[in-house]
Structure 1
Amino acid sequence: MVYGIGTDICDVRRIRTSVERHGERFAEKVLSDAELAVYRRRGERWPDRGLRFLATRFSAKEAFSKAIGMGMRMPMTWRACEIANLASGQPVIVLHGELKAWFEAKGLRAHVTVTDETDYAASFVIVETLEPRSGS
Structure 2
Amino acid sequence: MRILGLGTDIVEISRVTDMIERHAESFTERIYSSYEIDYCSSKKNASQHYAGRWAAKEAVMKAFGTGFIKGIHWNEIEVISQQSGQPEVRLSGETSTFARQRGIDQILLSISHGKEYATATAIVCSE
Relative to the length of structure 1, the TM-score reads 0.86
Which one of the candidate residues 95, 99, 110 is aligned to 2:95? Answer: 99
Cα distance between partner residues in 2 of 1:90 and 1:12: 20
Offset of residue 38 of structure 1: 1.2
Cα distance between partner residues in 1 of 2:79 and 2:34: 11
Cα distance between partner residues in 2 of 1:85 and 1:19: 21
Aligned twin of 1:17: 18
Offset of residue 25 of structure 1: 2.0
Aligned twin of 1:113: 110
Which one of the candidate residues 66, 69, 72 is aligned to 1:73? Answer: 69
Contact preservation (8 Å) 1:70, 1:76: no
Offset of residue 124 of structure 1: 0.3
**Counterpart amino acid of 1:57?**
R
Cα distance between partner residues in 1 of 2:63 and 2:39: 25
Identity of paired residues, percent? 30
**Counterpart amino acid of 1:112?**
L
1:34-113 alignment, distance < 5 Å = 34-42=35-43, 46=44, 49-108=45-104, 109-113=106-110
Q: 1:65-99: per-residue Cα shift (whole Å, max 9, x none)?
A: 00001111132210110001111111010000121
- The farther-off stretch of 23-32 and 56-65 is 23-32
SS in 2 for 1:23: helix
Stretches of 4+ moved more than 3 A in 1?
none
- The farther-off stretch of 71-80 and 107-116 is 71-80
Offset of residue 41 of structure 1: 2.0
Relative to the length of structure 2, the TM-score reads 0.91
Gaps of 5+ in 2: none
Offset of residue 56 of structure 1: 0.4
**Counterpart amino acid of 2:97?**
A
Superposition CA RMSD, Å = 1.2
Contact preservation (8 Å) 1:5, 1:124: yes
